[in-house]
Amino acid sequence: MGATIAAHPLQRDGRPTLRLMVADARSQESDGSTAIDLVDVTKMYAGRVHALQGVAMRVPRGEIFGLLGPNGAGKSTLVKIMTTIVRPTTARGTILGMPIGHRPTLSRVGYLPEHHRFPAYLTGRQCVEFFGAMGLMRCAERHRRAAELLDVVGMGAWGDRRVGTYSKGMQQRTGLAAALVNDPELVILDEPTDGVDPVGRAEIRDVLLRMRAEGRTVFLNSHLLGEVELVCDRVAIMLKGKVERQGTMADLTHDSRAWRVTIEGAAPAWCAQFGTASTDGSRASIDFKSEDLAVLQSLIDRLRAERIAIVGVRETRESLENLFMRLVRDVDGRASAVGASNVNSAMRAGGSQ
């Protein structure tokens, strides 16, 4: 079966309704390798603010996918559209093979919202069980899962205390347990380590890796680039309502693949044809960008031929943080350029009148 393209049942532009879309989806189910397949997701607030502009994204099953972006990029809006909390202007695509917004499919999705607030009068265990029931789990199964998950997130001893007495980190852990209670195939986590101490963050990272090992798909929305870099197989970077880049870490940093060869003594003059040479004390480094390993080999061969001692050869790639910052600057630059161009056009237009 080919790619699944289905409209959100709640979208506002008069496209097909839920019943039609469910029927439609029967003939459009994906091949099962894709957990999230967004083709065109748009959200316009109050008829003017474009929160999302034709977002397309593909998240393979069994991977941890990181969604990055500065504040206001539209990350949370996208997550909320996938979980039916926000109504899209248009939304074509599927979640777990069914159209976005197909309600029964949500029983196979776990979601931890950013700044979530659980009812203070419930205990942690009751909270987890309550959301299990909302996710259609039967009584005995949700009792068992709640007990198991509270232990997993380190809240076993606190499970019978009211949520109102919990710290932010404890609430976050409980929220993670609630997101996992229905044994979801897809887990969407919006800033899961928000308010959690470094030890707790490491534990949550372990939980994420365990989820991947169990074959679940994790969709991680986070500001913390380092965290994303540590656990994610794939990343999408959203800026101003658009996906600027997406792919594996290797794909994203592919263009930035570079080599650093460090030698004893000064770099010979011919090294300039390979790259930039720099000296640091008694050693020198030659940095160059190349995808072709033959270039590296030829440099090493020539250095050895001249009996220059090679101290080290290291592959370097741009960090996710650098890539992210570069993209943000690029987009801001483009926006400024467009803005300036618009101003100039306006001035020209004004001048010509």
Cβ contacts of residue 342 below 8 Å, gap of 6+?
none
| Contact call for residue 1 and another protein (CB under 8 A) | no
221 bridge partner residues:
67, 190
Q: Which is nearer to another protein, 77 or 285 (CB)?
A: 77
Reading the block at residue 327, the tokens are 């993209």
| Contact call for residue 117 and another protein (CB under 8 A) | yes
Closest listed residue to residue 222, CA positions, set 195, 248, 241: 195
Applying the rule CB under 8 A, the residues between 4 and 33 that interact with another protein are 22, 26
Do the beta carbons of residue 123 and residue 162 sit within 8 Å?
yes
Report in angstroms how near the CB of residue 348 gets to another protein at its nearest.
Answer: 40
5-8 contacts at long range (C-beta below 8 A, 24 or more positions apart): 5/39, 5/92, 5/93, 5/94, 6/92, 6/93, 6/94, 6/98, 6/99, 6/100, 7/90, 7/91, 7/92, 7/99, 8/41, 8/81, 8/87, 8/88, 8/90, 8/91, 8/92, 8/99, 8/100, 8/101
What is the Cα–Cα distance from 326 to 74, expressed in whole angstroms? 19
Q: Residue 31 burial by CB count (10 A; 0-12/13-18/19+): exposed, middle or buried?
A: exposed
In the set 11, 28, 42, 83, which binds another protein (CB under 8 A)?
83
| Contact call for residue 131 and another protein (CB under 8 A) | yes
Report in angstroms how near the CB of residue 125 gets to another protein at its nearest.
Answer: 12
| Contact call for residue 170 and another protein (CB under 8 A) | no
| Contact call for residue 159 and another protein (CB under 8 A) | no
| Contact call for residue 215 and another protein (CB under 8 A) | yes
| Contact call for residue 108 and another protein (CB under 8 A) | yes
In the set 39, 52, 57, 152, which binds another protein (CB under 8 A)?
152
C-alpha angle 273/275/281, rounded to 5°?
Answer: 115
- H or E segment and range at residue 305: helix 293-305
Q: Which is nearer to another protein, 136 or 338 (CB)?
A: 136
Do the beta carbons of residue 41 and residue 54 sit within 8 Å?
yes
Give the distance, in angstroms, between the CA of residue 172 and the centroid of all CA atoms in the same chain. Answer: 19
User: Of the ranges 180-188, 263-271, 294-302, 329-337, which one interacts with another protein (CB under 8 A)?
Assistant: 180-188
| Contact call for residue 183 and another protein (CB under 8 A) | yes
Amino acid 133 reads: A
| Contact call for residue 288 and another protein (CB under 8 A) | no
In the set 15, 63, 70, 130, which binds another protein (CB under 8 A)?
130
In the set 214, 280, 291, 292, which binds another protein (CB under 8 A)?
214
Reading the block at residue 252, the tokens are 């994203």
User: Of the ranges 63-71, 100-108, 273-281, 298-306, which one interacts with another protein (CB under 8 A)?
Assistant: 100-108
What is the Cα–Cα distance from 291 to 278, expressed in whole angstroms? 21
In the set 3, 136, 338, 343, which binds another protein (CB under 8 A)?
136
Binding residue count for another protein, defined by CB under 8 A: 50
Q: Which is nearer to another protein, 143 or 260 (CB)?
A: 143
| Contact call for residue 211 and another protein (CB under 8 A) | yes
**What residues make contact with another protein under the rule CB under 8 A?**
22, 26, 45, 80, 83-87, 103-109, 111, 113, 116-119, 121-122, 126, 130-131, 133-139, 148-149, 152, 162, 178, 180, 182-183, 185, 188, 207, 210-211, 214-216
